A and B are shown apart, each in its own frame.
Chain A
Amino acid sequence: MLRCDAIIKSPGNPRGEKGLGRNLMSTAAAKKPRPKYLSLSALLFEIRMPVTAWVSGMHRISGALLVFPLAAWLLYLLDMSLSSEQGYNHVRDVYFRHPLVKLGMIFFIWAYAHHFCAGIRFLLLDINKGIEKESAKTWAYVVFAASILITIYFGWRIW
């Protein structure tokens, strides 16, 4: 122990780079359990993510849901509505009358609007627009507000 201290603290070699001190330090660090905060509950209730992180996360989630299942659903609707006059009328008068279909459509509108608005913000960040901390936060709030307003407007139109 004395020898080790001498190596670590010797002047001219403050980090103990002979190897011994370093090895002891790294094994001590390896034994100490490192805290992990990667659970969903920690993410939702313990860690307070900045609004910019929420925009980014929701961009991922909305993007994934747009790929599956929403794109498949929209293609199904496009296929049915263009197949024949009966198909078109069925979509409009039967299918779209169902409240669950309307809720699904409103969810699609939100996902598309959020992905669109957040994407525009990222494109602007790429060319250094709104890159400062405060404006980045402001525009993150604008993205959330705009996508919710778009959802309310088109949700009201289709209901």
Chain B
Amino acid sequence: MVVNRVVVGAHYGLGNFIAQRVTALIMAVYSVIMLVVVMGGRPLSYAVWRDLFTQGWMRVATLLFAISLAWHAWIGIKEILIDYARPDSLRFALHVVFALVIAAYLGWTIQILWR
């Protein structure tokens, strides 16, 4: 069977598929690093905790995690809403709500990191 698909342009969800997996890997690596740093390092105190998050690499890594989370969550939420949220007007409203929630998370994270 010949399917005449235009590979460029419509994407058929391939972009989302790949983004979902790449962002998952970034978050998985960050989670393991975070666990090792917190559990393997000095006993936690405010000074240790603050110093960890003032280091440049940690801020960038955390921002990368937050962006991955936002992207990953947006794709996941969209899939869930497409499957269950009826009617379309409710789904659209929930899309908007979650887009705003995820954008707010991202803004909040930046605010916490670069205070």
Binding site for B on A (CB under 8 A): 60, 63-64, 66-68, 71-72, 75, 78-79, 81-83, 85, 88-89, 112, 116, 119-120, 123, 126
* A68: contacting residue among B49, B53, B101, B112, CB under 8 A: B101
Q: Are A123 and B102 in contact (CB under 8 A)?
A: no
Q: Are B112 and A85 in contact (CB under 8 A)?
A: no
Q: Are B105 and A75 in contact (CB under 8 A)?
A: yes
Q: A82-B49, A88-B45, A116-B28 given; name 20 further pairs at CB < 8 Å.
A: A60-B76, A63-B73, A63-B80, A64-B76, A66-B73, A67-B76, A67-B98, A71-B69, A71-B73, A71-B105, A75-B109, A75-B112, A79-B108, A82-B115, A88-B49, A88-B50, A112-B31, A120-B28, A123-B25, A126-B21
> In the complex, how many residues of chain B place their beta carbon closer than 8 angstroms to a beta carbon of chain A?
23
The answer for the CA separation of A78 and B73 in the assembled complex, in Å, is: 19
The answer for the CA separation of A71 and B105 in the assembled complex, in Å, is: 8
Contacts A/B (CB < 8 Å), 7 sampled? A63-B73, A68-B98, A71-B69, A83-B115, A89-B46, A116-B28, A116-B31
